[in-house]
Amino acid sequence: MKVAVKDLNGKQTSEQEVRFEIIADNSGSQTVHDVVVAYLANQRMGTACTKTMGEVTGTGKKPWRQKGTGRARAGSFQSPLWRGGGVVFGPKPRDFSVKINAKTKLLALRKVLSDRIKASDVVIVEDIAVSSPKTKDFVSILKALDLNCTLLIVTEAANKNLMLASRNVPGVELTTAKDLNTYQALKYDKLVFTKKAFEVVEERLIERKEKAAV
């Protein structure tokens, strides 16, 4: 399968042959689900914490005597029934992380990219370079490429000017070819790769596929 390569004026200059194996059927859908669920779980901090009755600061003195006051019995100022008391069954720090092996991540990313390429959601450009960190320069590039939707821009390496120029544009995220993941590939309407970045992603998939086969 081939993908058109465009310049920054939106004109097709060549075609890029996709070197990794395209998944043509529905296989890998469950893997994509598992990888995305794991990714979202791994974003959770797990730092929520409440104090139990034994952890709340306070005195051990009994609030009032057991009998004769006409009030209900009370044995502690730290009771969960009282304002400022402990919390019953509240959250405690925990680890939400889920482990996914390399072969599963490979299949999920390859499945998503295969579907996005077949749906014509992948755009490859020769290069995306802005001479200054001005938002208007970046917006002019998007207009020339006729991209007025949410975008994931994948470059070979981090570009400071491009990052500064795009950060105020809503619905646009930048990442590098080495950091591209399945969740990002699913989240946006269009995936914009530089030619070199797409080649790096291909190398990632081909290399890991060969290792998995061994």
What tens digit of pLDDT does each residue of 108-136 get? 999 999 999 999 999 999 988 888 899 99
187: domain range?
A: 2-44+100-213
State how far the Cα of 42 lies from the Cα of 92, in Å rounded to an integer. Answer: 17
- 136-146 pLDDT, tens digit per residue, is 999 999 999 99
Whether 84 and 126 map to the same domain: the answer is no
Whether 68 and 39 map to the same domain: the answer is no
Whether 39 and 145 map to the same domain: the answer is yes
Whether 34 and 74 map to the same domain: the answer is no
Whether 7 and 62 map to the same domain: the answer is no
Final residue in a domain of this structure, among 33, 60, 95: 95
Residues 6 or more apart whose Cβ sits within 8 Å of residue 191: 113, 116, 121, 122, 123, 151, 152, 154, 185
Which DSSP symbol is given to 40?
A: H
pLDDT above 80: residue 154: yes
Q: What is the pLDDT of residue 209?
A: 47
How many separate domains does the chain show?
2
State how far the Cα of 108 lies from the Cα of 207, in Å rounded to an integer. Answer: 15
Q: What is the CATH number of the domain that holds 105?
A: 3.40.1370.10
Q: Mean per-residue pLDDT for 175-189?
A: 95
Q: What is the pLDDT of residue 206?
A: 86
Whether 166 and 186 map to the same domain: the answer is yes
